[in-house]
Amino acid sequence: MTTYIGVSTKAYLGWRQSLDWIDRVRDQLVARPLGDDVRLFVIPSYPVIPAAIERLGPLGVLVGAQNVSTAAGALTGEVSAELLGELGVDLVEVGHAERRSLFDETDEIVRQKTAAISGAGMTPLLCIGESTLGEPDAAAATCLDQVIAATGGDASLAARLVLAYEPVWAIGAAQPAPPAYIAAVVVALRHSLEGRFGAPSVPVVYGGSAGPGLLSRLPEVDGLFLGRFAHDPANLALVLEEARSR
């Protein structure tokens, strides 16, 4: 079983802060390599991606992008999937709740971006999750609908995803969603994915105020997607140690 640990710096860190963060993460990994069963992915701001690839790539770290354009061409201010793929980006975040709420990204835009990411040879890191706390089966059904919308129902595309289950109501909260609730949603989602796509092996990581001590309580997930907590590399090291001990 491969455990995925991911970090997005969002727009919190400046240029110098970002480089310092990358170097401190690198120091952690030099002192304590990841091993064969743990995959770390980092998703910095666009300008920092080349430095992250250069400094962390040789240590086995996957480097991602936080966003992508739906296409190339006359789209001022956008960054195409082709450019990111040529740069050496491994995966691209798509469908995040913030992109949906702040930038009005619809299911159709998410579908176009997912196709563009995959078409450029990268892995779509598809963010899914329900808006409000309810029953796990209802949350899993919402997540399945989001996967179907993002892939257009294409089983071959669905098999190339990494899913980040992030309940919208838990993003930025004081505590993550209850472990029993996360587990129930993920188990139901895997069952639904298998029934719909025949793809039970799609990795599912949990995000939403995740931190130390959570991974050991969630054998049902394939890892964690961390936010501000991991902007301190020492905190990231704690979670990576939990992942290694899995």
Q: Which residues contact 138 (CB under 8 A, 6 or more apart)?
A: 130
CATH of residue 29's domain is 3.20.20.70
Q: Catalytic residue positions?
A: 96, 166
Q: Which domain holds residue 60?
A: 3-245
Q: What is the pTM of this model?
A: 0.96
Number of structural domains the chain divides into: 1
pLDDT at residue 172, as a whole number: 86
Q: Three-state DSSP class for 205?
A: strand
The pLDDT profile of the chain, 246 residues, written as one tens digit per residue, is 899 999 999 999 999 999 999 999 999 999 999 999 999 999 999 999 999 999 999 999 999 999 999 999 999 999 999 999 999 999 999 999 999 999 999 999 999 999 999 999 999 999 999 999 999 999 999 999 999 999 999 999 999 999 999 999 999 888 899 999 999 999 999 999 999 998 668 999 999 989 889 999 999 999 999 988 999 999 999 999 999 998
pLDDT at residue 183, as a whole number: 98
CB-CB neighbours of 112 under 10 Å: 19
